[in-house]
Amino acid sequence: MCADSSFVPPLIYAFMGSSRDIAIGPVAVVSLLLGTLVQNEHDPVKNADEYRRLVFTATFFAGITQATLGVLRLGFLIDFLSHAAVIGFMGGAAITIGLQQLKGFLGIKHFTKKSDIVSVMKSVFGSMHHGWNWETIVIATSFLALLLFAKYLAKKNKKLFWVPAIAPLISVILSTFFVYITHAEKEGVAIVKHIEQGINPPSVNEIYFSGENVLKGFRIGIVAGMIALTVSPFQGFKNRSRCNRKNLCFNEDYHVDGNKEMIALGTMNVVGSMTSCYVATGSFSRSAVNYMAGCQTVVSNIVMSCVVFLTLKFLTPLFEYTPNAILSSIIISAVIGLIDYEAAILIWKIDKFDFVACMGAFLGVVFASVEIGLLIAVSISFAKILLQVTRPRTAILGRIPMTSVYRNIQQYQEATKVPGVLIVRVDSAIYFSNSNYIKESILRWLTAEEAHVKATYQTRLQYLIIEMSPVTDIDTSGIHAFEELYRSLFKRDVKLVLANPGRLVLDKLYASGFLDLIGDNKIFLTVADAVFTCSPKILQEV
């Protein structure tokens, strides 16, 4: 299935995709996710047929999900899974993939089916004295060192970008030749053995369209399809900062249509599910090699597809003696690049809550399962959104000396408060979800300021000016909160003044009758105009 996924999907994408740089094929993270979710339903050894059919079913629904998002222009839903959560999820998935390869790397025959690090480590060390094969370890370690050295050379010298690109192929050829001439398989070195020539037959009849497996395939397909879109390079085009950190911003002189990309990816997976393929998407590393090799059109996908076809058709007998250890080494060297610790450090410096999302997803995948890690990533991402929506920021403004400019006094130490006036800026739209919080925040600012004024024998507060330029919208609950704020201020003998409300907000305040309550003369174009009316002596210094 893996080889077929590098044959059919690239052909479909070449005719439907909008990117000239993206290379299509199986991706480690998606492969792990799909394999783990399907394995939870059917054992790949005991129920091989059901396992394979559920993979095709999940791939079909993954394609339907992706194409539907593109047709309905709902690609923004993917953005709800934050970049920090994706970094953590992919790092955890890389660790999990690498741990799973220890079976082939060490030559262990009996290995746990669980993916968490605790179970894997128990299985590894539990078989140390009777399950490890030293010949396998020598082969795997030697070629892993070769692969890592090839990457090191390319990193030091950009002109040698082709070295890590061909290193896996050279490793396979050399290791296969070595096993063949030494007959290392007789010493316990596991090999690939016989591989069927040609591409797999059509699989339309193997997709579940009825029964309980339809729901299982649908559920798995949605998750796999969304993750496939998340890790696809076209998301990197949409997020240039991520792309630049990986040096993968290819041709910036043309536009990548996200919705068209989703339709293309969805279509190729639907067709792929009917031709014995599983979920395919774009790969950052494969796409980078494409670009650095000078590929400038989608023909690169067609060429790759043709090469894979010829390999499947004529060359598969040559890989009979390929050791499983070399495949494990190639996968381990590939997933190491998915652990983006530099991005994690940057996330820690920028936003601690983002770092919690990153580490939550990472630890969930490593110590529990891919599903748990994904659930944690999504949950923390939504929690952050809800927290930002329900707990918006408010700030006290002060006047910059010798100007009519008002700024946050916590950001500008030279900004000074206006005697008898408290100026508060609301940095969010005001909805039912945050209206009471905003009202309480303003009242807390007011109470604190009144206590300070009283303690320092300053001019009593007479006006509360709310800077509303950041307030893009307000709903009924927000207006009710303002009415309650007005009544609270009335009891304190403090007048409410609004500065620079937007047109939409102003129309709603008029329609609700709130402006009749406070008076039209309490609306001003700028904070400076409001201050001049409330405390005209302050502008004599300007």
Residue 2: per-residue pLDDT: 58
Find the helix packing angle between 341-350 and 352-367, rounded to 10°. Answer: 140
Q: Is the pLDDT of residue 395 over 70?
A: yes
Query: pLDDT of 53-76, one tens digit each?
Result: 999 999 999 999 999 999 998 877
283-296: pLDDT as tens digits:
766 776 676 666 77
Distance CA 63, CA 132 (A): 41
Judged against a pLDDT cut of 60, whether residue 232 lies above it is answered with yes
Q: Express each pLDDT in 2-14 by its tens digit.
A: 556 788 999 999 9
What's the farthest any 2 CA atoms get from each other in the chain?
A: 97
**Are 324 and 191 a contacting pair, CB within 8 Å?**
yes
**Which percentage of the chain shows pLDDT scores above 70?**
92
Give CA–CA dist 127/16, Å, rounded: 49
DSSP 479-525: HHHHHHHHHHHHHTT-EEEEE---HHHHHHHHHHTHHHHH-GGGEES
pLDDT at 336: 87
Of 233-242, 356-365, 421-430, 493-502, the poorest mean pLDDT is in 233-242
Residue 242 has a pLDDT of 44
How many other C-beta atoms can be found within 10 angstroms of the C-beta atom of residue 433? 17
Q: Give the residues across from 406 on adjacent strands.
A: 399
Q: Is 305 within 8 Å of 268 (Cβ atoms)?
A: no
Q: Is 154 helix (H, G, I), strand (E, B) or coil?
A: helix
- The residue to which tokens 């690498």 are assigned: 98
CA distances from 284 to 154, 250, 294, 341, 370 (A): 16, 11, 16, 17, 21
Residue 203 contacts residue 62 (beta carbons within 8 Å): no
With cut-offs at 50, 70 and 90, classify the pLDDT of residue 381: confident
pLDDT at 439 over 60: yes
d(CA 193, CA 86): 37
Whether 53 contacts 208, CB under 8 Å: yes
Task: pLDDT band for 541, please (50, 70, 90 cuts).
Answer: very low
pLDDT per residue over 327-349, tens digit each?
999 989 988 878 889 999 999 99
Rounded to 5°, angle at Cα 251 from 336 and 299: 85
Whether 538 shows a pLDDT value over 60: the answer reads no
- CA atoms of 55 and 221, how far apart (whole Å): 9
As a whole number, mean pLDDT of residues 415-430 equals 94
Tell me what the pLDDT averaged over the chain comes to: 87
Residues near 150 by beta carbon (within 8 Å), at least 6 away in sequence: 163, 164, 167
DSSP notation for 24-84: EE--HHHHHHHHHHHHTTS-TTTTHHHHHHHHHHHHHHHHHHHHHHHHTT-GGGGGGS-HH
Estimate the crossing angle of helix 352-367 against helix 370-390, to 10 degrees.
160
Q: Is residue 474 classed as helix, strand or coil in its secondary structure?
A: strand
**Backbone torsions φ then ψ of 168, nearest 5 degrees:** -60, -40
Question: Helices (H), strands (E): how many in the chain?
Answer: 23, 8
Say if CB 284 and CB 248 are below 8 A apart: yes
Q: Is the pLDDT of residue 539 over 70?
A: no
Tokens 């068209």, located at residue:
260
pTM of the full predicted structure? Answer: 0.79
Task: Over range 320-324, report the average pLDDT.
Answer: 94
| Averaged pLDDT, 137-162 | 91
Q: How high is the pLDDT of residue 372?
A: 87
Residue 215 structure tokens: 């729901």
pLDDT of residue 253: 54
